[in-house]
């Protein structure tokens, strides 16, 4: 693998709250290279958005504590000053946020909001900036872009707003695009179009894309590599084929359902896994997945490191079971849903 | 937008009618006794009472009384039976003073409150914020006539820093005009500064957590631009509305106390003097004009608000 | 102060109150206990709440001071009397009309006014009037607001239109102007409604005026809350069980309004006291020879050149009282609306 574009190491984010310290991100490490699409999947609350936002210095709660590093072009984004990050944000690393309904300023015209970003990074006269915006809006599939550039966000549907957000993110040709569930709010056809946009951005500019999603269909469609997050940790990481055809972590099995049934269509959404994710303020020692895992044994009270256990070295996971155990256990799991709660009562 | 304006003006006319009816009721119907006696003031004589009854139609049905009252007020055919002064003339003469007081104070309180609101929001929860919050509460707890009187006594009379009350027309001497108005402006502003700075502070703290502010940062804007362009601007929108409403309220009667204390001789003081003599016609006219002003300004504010915040128009 | 609480109530009060509706029984005590605990841990609010209680107690004790310390009453003038201060004989009011300043002893503790009346005694009796009017007006406002808000919100439709538009019209008047207009009209000829005949000099006049003027400010948020409450499941459930409108309003809606009312009440009293002061200052509040802090400030301002203490003393009492209520009321609001508190920690 060539020199990665962005290299995240041991990223930790915690929040001091009334209920105690919430460890939202707990030692996340990954690399992403040019032109690569990394999908990050995991249950709600597993720390996907917080990780992504922290990379851009957008986790701004005064109660937040950070550690770790994120090297981008030889520079650490986590310890960088806000002034330095201002140059990076929008221009080199851009982000599409989870909620398109509230992520645009309600009292500013959408064109002006995009022009603002362009002019923050390039000395471009108004007329040219507007021209670029029209082009961008057309590129993300907004009809009659020249007229709609002076519309307010409330005049757009959710899908249209999400496209505006994408146009905004693409407006300065970023090297890294972080897309936080860009298609969750949209219907299937629009979803497909938007994924197509993201793919063509990657193809045209060679940008790296970090795609946060709940949707395994999307992952299978577009991702080169996959990271699976659980309770603030990456529990498994590998190529698309590694994750889909040779998953190593029991949590991943749960996500995928019965992986042996490759002949069946994959579940579109993450299937429900019995039991609840742990409270981030009070997580179990050792492997966080332990209380919900049917394969728990003594060693699980120690934290399993994220390392390559499968031959080849690129497929990492955090499970103490031997590769042989995993491969045989996941085969015999009953039913379509890989896991049952240990108490035997499905939630 | 045009439809919105038309609808809004229609509503305004309805409210104007209701407001005038209520004013009429307050003075002529709700209290007991003979309305003519009330109009005549403290020392009525029988001949005058008869004339008043005829003029105001107090022997006619209520709707005639209402119409006559409105007619008298709006055609300027209204004079005080206590002082024999033409009320509408008097109001016209005094209005510029009230305007000068109200406009200056509105500008001062908005600017000061914006500065304080920004400052306290930036230091939310810290010592500076807490002490200023208490100070703001002190500000809203002080009666303006008391603060004004003490300012007048100490800053004006005792130490001679400012002129001890009075008003100089702008055309006569702009500097003296300004100099005479500093204390009244300040006294009138204190309460509003207290209220607005607190409202703005909490608006800013709400807005700062909005998703679109995060988007603004993600665009790579400078912190300054994020604060002014996105946070402050959006936080100010509701306050601008409030500002219009309060400005209307101040113009339409909210300066009674300030004018009296500083001897501005504006409309408010006229009201206060008339009240002191229980001279009803001027109080009636001032109440009517004052509330009309407020209703009018409310409408203007609503229309402006719809222009700033396009979402409103849809509702 | 009284000029325009539009601002304060409209923006700060109601936001407090849209919290989860409280269901009696099971979890019923939870939010209340929580709010109470939050309030108790807010030391500033507790201290000022205590200050207010002390002020009320002191004013209630006015007759004790008058009889046993000052040996006079609030109306008696001592124009030609003398008083011994530090063994020196002094006129209560000098021949050229300057009243004595504070003596810091039993008689004329805070000096005298231009009529030779004991300022301290008048201050305490005046305080009784100010507090009485403030609290009584706030109680009536609360009662009327609940009636109007609940009827408008619960029945909607025509009832709502009539009540809401009436509120809008009252709202269109500046508070002081409306108070003054009513005050002028009613002070002149009193109020006769059927068999009730209230004289223009009665303290009921300012109480009623203040109470009515503030109704829209409190009725609006209550109506809003009722509108959302009536859609809640527990109201549906009660209706399904055959409960009538009155029953639902009294036993389902009303209890859920109590936090709103609690949050509003101290602020309402504070504003009522301020408005009373303004009316008193303008001469349409409490009528002489009775006093309130407002009329005392008014007298003091008129004679400020002969002794500023006559204006300062009642003003300070008034400001301390209102400030105590405002700070305490602020604490109550924070306690019931944790959202406001969360901001402090951000
Ligand atoms: N400012 C904050 N203070 C306290 N806790 C926070 C804060 N921000 C996030 N968290 C917590 O961090 C955890 C991770 O949140 P995050 O938004 O990253 O989840 P997610 O994986 O993106 O979930 P989803 O799929 O729902 O978007 C959550 O439990 C959340 O409550
Ligand atoms: Mg998320």
- Whether C321 is covered by a domain: the verdict is no
Using CB distances shorter than 6 Å, the residues near ligand 1 are A 15, 17, 22, 24, 42, 44-50, 61, 98, 280
pLDDT number for residue B19: 84
Ligand 1 atom 26 nearest Cα: A44
Tell me if A99 sits within 8 A of B211, measured CB to CB: yes
**ipTM metric:** 0.85
Q: Do C281 and B257 touch (CB under 8 A)?
A: yes
- Whether C229 is covered by a domain: the verdict is yes
pLDDT number for residue A169: 92
- H helix runs in A140-249, sequence order: 145-148, 158-170, 188-205, 216-222, 240-245
Which residues in chain C have their CB less than 8 angstroms from residue A62's CB? 346
- Whether B63 is covered by a domain: the verdict is yes
B177 and B97 in a common domain: yes
Q: Do B142 and C319 touch (CB under 8 A)?
A: yes
Tell whether B244 lies on the interface with C, counting CB pairs under 8 A.
no
Which residues in chain B have their CB less than 8 angstroms from residue C311's CB? 146, 149-150, 153
- Residue numbers in chain A where pLDDT is lower than 50: 258-271, 332-347
- Whether B314 is covered by a domain: the verdict is no
Q: Which of B211, B212, B220 to probe the A interface (max A CBs under 10 A)?
A: B220
Tell me if A142 sits within 8 A of A165, measured CB to CB: no
- Whether C267 is covered by a domain: the verdict is yes
Q: What is the CATH number of the domain that holds B225?
A: 1.10.3720.10
Q: From the CA of B44, how many Å to the nearest CA of chain C?
A: 13
Last residue of a domain, one of B54, B75, B96: B75
Alpha-carbon distance of B176 to C122, in angstroms, equals: 40
B135 and B32 in a common domain: no
For residues C190 and B185, the model is more confident at: B185
pLDDT number for residue A293: 82
- Whether B30 is covered by a domain: the verdict is yes
- How far away, in angstroms, is A48 Cα from ligand 2 center? 6
Tell whether B196 lies on the interface with C, counting CB pairs under 8 A.
yes
Say if residue C15's pLDDT is above 50: no
Nearest to A238 by CA among A321, A327, A314: A314
- Whether C309 is covered by a domain: the verdict is no
Tell me if A182 sits within 8 A of A211, measured CB to CB: yes
- Whether B210 is covered by a domain: the verdict is yes
pLDDT, chain C, mean: 79
B102 and B231 in a common domain: yes
Tell whether A200 lies on the interface with C, counting CB pairs under 8 A.
no
pLDDT number for residue A88: 92
Residue A272 per-residue DSSP state: P
Say if residue C101's pLDDT is above 50: yes
B18 and B93 in a common domain: no
- Whether B99 is covered by a domain: the verdict is yes
Tell me if B253 sits within 8 A of B271, measured CB to CB: yes
**Number of domains making up chain B:** 2
Q: Do B221 and A116 touch (CB under 8 A)?
A: yes
B262 and B135 in a common domain: yes
B175 and B66 in a common domain: no
Tell me if A288 sits within 8 A of A230, measured CB to CB: yes
Q: What is the CATH number of the domain that holds C230?
A: 1.10.3720.10
Quickly state the pLDDT bin for C344 (edges 50, 70, 90): very low
B211 and B128 in a common domain: yes
Q: Do C297 and B142 touch (CB under 8 A)?
A: no
Q: Do B143 and C278 touch (CB under 8 A)?
A: yes
pLDDT number for residue A280: 67
> Beta strands A64-72 and A307-308: pairing type?
unpaired
Q: From the CA of A212, how many Å to the nearest CA of chain C?
A: 27
- H helix runs in C190-306, sequence order: 204-229, 233-240, 245-248, 254-282, 293-302
Tell whether A60 lies on the interface with C, counting CB pairs under 8 A.
no
Residue C49: in which H helix or E strand, if any? helix C43-60
pLDDT number for residue C343: 33
Q: Do B214 and A103 touch (CB under 8 A)?
A: yes
pLDDT (tens place) for every residue of chain B, 315 residues total: 788 888 888 888 888 888 888 888 888 776 666 778 777 776 777 888 888 888 888 888 888 888 888 888 888 788 888 788 888 889 999 999 999 999 999 999 999 999 999 999 988 888 898 899 889 999 999 999 999 999 999 998 888 888 888 888 888 889 999 999 999 999 999 999 999 999 999 899 889 989 999 999 999 999 999 999 999 988 988 888 788 888 888 888 889 899 999 999 999 999 888 887 778 888 888 888 888 888 888 888 878 877 777 666 554
pLDDT number for residue C12: 32
pLDDT number for residue C325: 93
Quickly state the pLDDT bin for C254 (edges 50, 70, 90): confident
Quick: pLDDT tens for C67-95: 777 677 777 777 777 777 777 777 777 77
- Whether B295 is covered by a domain: the verdict is no
B129 and B65 in a common domain: no
B150 and B224 in a common domain: yes
Ligand 1 atom 17 nearest Cα: A49
pLDDT number for residue A331: 58
Last residue of a domain, one of B12, B43, B75: B75
Burial call B242-267: b when 16+ CB within 10 Å, e when fewer: bbbbbbbbbbbbbbbbbbbbbebbbb
B161 and B37 in a common domain: no
- Whether C336 is covered by a domain: the verdict is no
Q: Give me the total of CB pairs closer than 8 Å, taking one residue from chain A and one from chain B.
A: 78
B191 and B53 in a common domain: no
Tell whether A62 lies on the interface with C, counting CB pairs under 8 A.
yes
CA distances to A160, A170, B147, C139, C175 from A201, rounded to whole Å, are 18, 8, 66, 66, 61
Compare all CA atoms of chain C with the CA of A63 and give the residue at the minimum distance: C346
- Whether C20 is covered by a domain: the verdict is no
B181 and B129 in a common domain: yes
Alpha-carbon distance of A86 to A91, in angstroms, equals: 9
Tell whether A102 lies on the interface with B, counting CB pairs under 8 A.
yes
Any idea which of B93-102, C111-120, C127-136 has the lowest mean pLDDT? Answer: C111-120
pLDDT number for residue B3: 82
Q: How many CB atoms lie within 10 A of CB B132?
A: 20
**Whole domain around residue B19: which residue ranges?**
2-75
**Number of domains making up chain C:** 1
Ligand 1 atom 4 nearest Cα: A15
- How far away, in angstroms, is A45 Cα from ligand 2 center? 7
- This prediction has a pTM of 0.83
Which residues in chain A have their CB less than 8 angstroms from residue B221's CB? 86, 90, 116-117, 120
Ligand 1 atom 16 nearest Cα: A47
* Residue found under tokens 């569930």: A181
Choice from A49, A60, A214 to test ligand 1 binding pocket (greatest atom count within 8 A of CB): A49
For residues B42 and C141, the model is more confident at: C141
- Whether B311 is covered by a domain: the verdict is no
- Whether B315 is covered by a domain: the verdict is no
Quickly state the pLDDT bin for C22 (edges 50, 70, 90): very low
Which residues in chain C have their CB less than 8 angstroms from residue A63's CB? 345
**Whole domain around residue C282: which residue ranges?**
126-291
């Amino acid at each position: 693998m060539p020199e990665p574009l962005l290299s995240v190491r041991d990223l930790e984010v915690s929040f001091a709250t009334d209920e105690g310290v919430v460890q939202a991100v707990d030692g996340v490490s990954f690399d992403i290279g040019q032109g690569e699409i990394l999908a990050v999947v995991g249950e709600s609350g597993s720390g996907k958005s917080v990780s992504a936002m922290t990379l851009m210095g957008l986790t701004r709660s005064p109660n937040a504590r950070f550690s770790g590093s994120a090297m981008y072009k030889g520079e650490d984004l986590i310890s960088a000053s806000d002034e330095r990050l201002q140059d990076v944000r929008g221009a080199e690393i851009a982000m599409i946020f989870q909620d398109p309904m509230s992520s645009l300023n309600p009292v500013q015209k959408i064109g002006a909001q995009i022009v603002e970003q362009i002019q923050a990074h390039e000395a471009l006269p108004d007329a040219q900036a507007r021209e670029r915006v029209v082009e961008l809006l057309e590129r993300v599939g907004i009809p009659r872009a020249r007229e709609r550039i002076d519309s307010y966000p409330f005049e757009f549907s959710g899908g249209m707003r999400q496209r505006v957000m994408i146009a905004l993110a693409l407006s300065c040709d970023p090297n890294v695009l972080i897309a936080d569930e860009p298609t969750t709010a949209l219907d299937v056809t629009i979803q497909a179009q938007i994924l197509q946009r993201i793919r063509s951005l990657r193809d045209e500019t060679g940008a790296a894309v970090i795609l946060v999603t709940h949707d395994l269909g999307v992952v299978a469609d577009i991702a080169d590599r996959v990271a699976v997050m659980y309770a603030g940790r990456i529990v498994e990481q590998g190529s698309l084929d590694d994750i889909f055809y040779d998953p190593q972590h029991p949590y991943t099995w749960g996500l995928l359902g019965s992986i042996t049934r490759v002949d069946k269509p994959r579940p579109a959404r993450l299937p429900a896994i019995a039991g609840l994710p742990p409270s981030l303020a009070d997580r179990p020692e050792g492997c966080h997945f332990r209380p919900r895992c049917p394969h728990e044994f003594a060693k699980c009270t120690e934290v399993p490191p994220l390392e390559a256990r499968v031959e080849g070295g690129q497929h990492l996971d955090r499970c103490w079971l031997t590769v042989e155990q995993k491969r045989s256990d996941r085969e015999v799991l009953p039913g379509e849903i890989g896991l049952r709660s240990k108490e035997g009562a499905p939630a | 937008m045009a439809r919105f304006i038309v609808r809004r003006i229609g509503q305004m006319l309805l409210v104007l009618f209701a407001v005038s009816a209520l004013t009429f009721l307050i003075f002529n119907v709700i209290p007991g006794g003979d309305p003519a006696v009330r109009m005549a003031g403290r020392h009525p004589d029988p001949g005058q009472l008869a004339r008043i009854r005829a003029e105001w139609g107090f022997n006619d049905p209520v709707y005639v009384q209402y119409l006559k009252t409105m007619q008298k007020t709006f055609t300027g055919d209204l004079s005080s039976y206590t002082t024999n002064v033409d009320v509408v003339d008097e109001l016209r003469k005094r209005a510029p003073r009230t305007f000068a007081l109200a406009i200056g104070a509105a500008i001062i309180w908005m600017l000061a409150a914006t500065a304080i609101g920004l400052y306290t929001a930036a230091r939310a929860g810290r010592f500076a914020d807490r002490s200023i919050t208490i100070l703001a509460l002190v500000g809203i707890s002080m009666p303006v006539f008391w603060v004004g009187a003490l300012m007048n006594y100490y800053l004006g009379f005792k130490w001679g820093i400012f002129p001890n009350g009075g008003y100089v027309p702008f055309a006569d001497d702009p500097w003296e005009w300004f100099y005479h108005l500093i204390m009244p402006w300040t006294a009138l502003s204190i309460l509003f500064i207290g209220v607005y700075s607190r409202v703005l502070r909490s608006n800013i703290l709400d807005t700062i957590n909005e998703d679109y502010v995060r988007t603004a940062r993600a665009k790579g804007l400078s912190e300054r631009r994020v604060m002014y362009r996105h946070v402050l601007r959006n936080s100010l929108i509701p306050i601008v509305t409030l500002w219009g409403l309060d400005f209307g309220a101040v113009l339409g009667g909210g300066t009674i106390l300030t004018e009296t204390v500083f001897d501005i001789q504006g409309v408010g003081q006229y009201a206060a003097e008339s009240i002191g003599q229980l001279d009803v016609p001027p109080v009636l006219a001032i109440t009517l004009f004052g509330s009309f002003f407020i209703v009018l300004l409310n409408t203007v504010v609503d229309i402006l608000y719809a222009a700033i915040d396009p979402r409103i128009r849809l509702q | 102060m009284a000029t325009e609480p539009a601002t304060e109530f409209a923006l700060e009060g109601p936001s407090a109150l849209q919290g989860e509706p409280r269901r009696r029984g099971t979890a019923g005590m939870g939010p209340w206990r929580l709010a109470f605990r939050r309030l108790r841990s807010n030391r500033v609010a507790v201290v000022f709440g205590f200050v207010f209680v002390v002020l009320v107690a002191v004013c209630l004790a006015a007759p004790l001071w008058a009889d046993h310390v000052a040996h006079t009453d609030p109306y008696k003038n001592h124009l030609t009397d003398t008083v011994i201060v530090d063994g020196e004989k002094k006129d209560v009011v000098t021949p050229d009309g300057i009243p004595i300043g504070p003596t810091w002893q039993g008689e004329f503790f805070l000096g005298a006014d231009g009529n030779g009346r004991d300022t301290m005694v008048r201050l305490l009796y005046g305080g009784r009037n100010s507090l009485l009017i403030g609290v009584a007006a706030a109680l009536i406002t609360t009662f009327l607001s609940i009636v109007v808000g609940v009827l408008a919100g619960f029945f909607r439709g025509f009832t709502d239109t009539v009540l809401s538009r009436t509120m809008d019209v009252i709202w269109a008047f500046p508070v002081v102007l409306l108070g003054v207009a009513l005050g002028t009209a009613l002070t002149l000829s009193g109020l006769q409604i059927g068999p009730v005949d209230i004289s223009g000099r009665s303290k009921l006049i300012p109480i009623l005026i203040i109470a009515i003027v503030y109704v829209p400010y409190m009725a609006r948020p209550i109506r809003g809350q009722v509108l959302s409450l009536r859609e809640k499941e527990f109201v549906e459930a009660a209706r399904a069980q055959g409960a009538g409108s009155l029953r639902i309003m009294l036993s389902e809606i009303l209890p859920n309004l109590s936090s709103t009312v609690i949050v509003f009440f101290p602020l309402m009293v504070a504003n009522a006291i301020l408005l009373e002061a303004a009316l008193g200052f303008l001469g349409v509040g409490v009528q002489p020879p009775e006093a309130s802090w407002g009329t005392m400030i008014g007298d003091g301002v008129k004679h400020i050149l002969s002794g500023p203490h006559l204006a300062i003393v009642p003003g300070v009492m008034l400001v301390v009282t209102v400030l105590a209520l405002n700070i305490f009321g602020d604490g109550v609001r924070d306690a019931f609306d944790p959202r406001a508190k969360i901001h402090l920690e951000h």
